[in-house]
Amino acid sequence: MKISLGAKVNYYSKCPFCGTARAEGSEKCINCGKSLLQITEQENTIPDEDKDIALYKARDEKTASENLKELKGKNKFRYFMDYYFGKVVFGIILAALACGLLYSFFKPRQEPALYTVIVVNPFTPTAYDQFKADLEEMLVTDPKHQNIILDNNYSSLIADYNSGMAFTMHMAAGEVDMVIFNKDELKYQVNSEALIPVDQAISKDIFNKLPDDIKIKVTPTYPLDNGDFKYGEEAVYGLNIEKFLERINGFETSSKYCVAFTRITEKHDALNTVVKYMFDIN
């Protein structure tokens, strides 16, 4: 028999089952083996100041919310921290993750109206911001679904392995439309077949309006298996943008920068607009 806390215990003088007298010190009948324990009354042995704690410990007899309502002061706070706090925190974290996933799923997705790679950024911070703002004004018709990307996290496509790999991956993903870099980088990318001639990227009419002194001609060189080289057809693969940089930066640049266009671009209308803007063509 399980005896609860605070109960007074007596023993039957005779077995209530068979009537055999209780042997001295025995808790069971010597005849039938039945228990002779007799619980006569239940006393409250819990001090008044600990009644809340007793209720807290006996929460298995009531619901958690009922116990919380009956507790007071620090015991109520302690009960809340023990029983509810972890669940509340977990619920908040779960709700935040769910909201984040829903936002990511339902938020308007932006596609680049123009994706430009800039190798060794020739723009001052102010000029960079102005260039991007001008492109947005010219090319972005729906800001919720379009944006302009000027990716200037490149030190060199030739000497920097990480930059070269990043450029290759963006090209493989079909993202890059335009590249701003120096003439040496231009020749390297022409030989890597990453670029197309300017007159294939923009309209013939706009190309013919460009001054000849800004057109950079390159003859592609392709290595053969026997160690020799095969030469491609000379064409204009880049446009010198020194005057444009001088205009937007407010001073002359020491490096010879040019703009070129990738073989994967499909944004020919946007490139027409950009070339007209950079070289003041009407």
Task: Give 138 or 109, the one with higher predicted confidence.
Answer: 138
Of residues 68 and 10, more confidence is placed in: 10
Domains and CATH numbers, the chain: 1-45 (no CATH), 48-107 (no CATH), 111-278 (3.40.190.10)
What pLDDT digit, counting tens, does each position of 17-42 carry?
Answer: 787 888 887 888 888 888 877 766 55
For 160, which DSSP code?
-
Mean pLDDT of 250-274: 92
Cα angle 126, 256, 181; round to 5: 70
- Note the pLDDT tens digit of each residue in 130-184: 999 999 999 999 988 999 999 999 999 999 999 999 999 999 999 999 999 999 9
Average of pLDDT values for 114-127? 95
Joined tokens for residue 14: 């005779």
Reported in sequence order, the residue ranges of the chain that DSSP labels E, i.e. its strands, are: 7-11, 37-42, 111-119, 146-154, 178-182, 195-196, 215-218, 221-223, 229-231, 235-240, 257-262
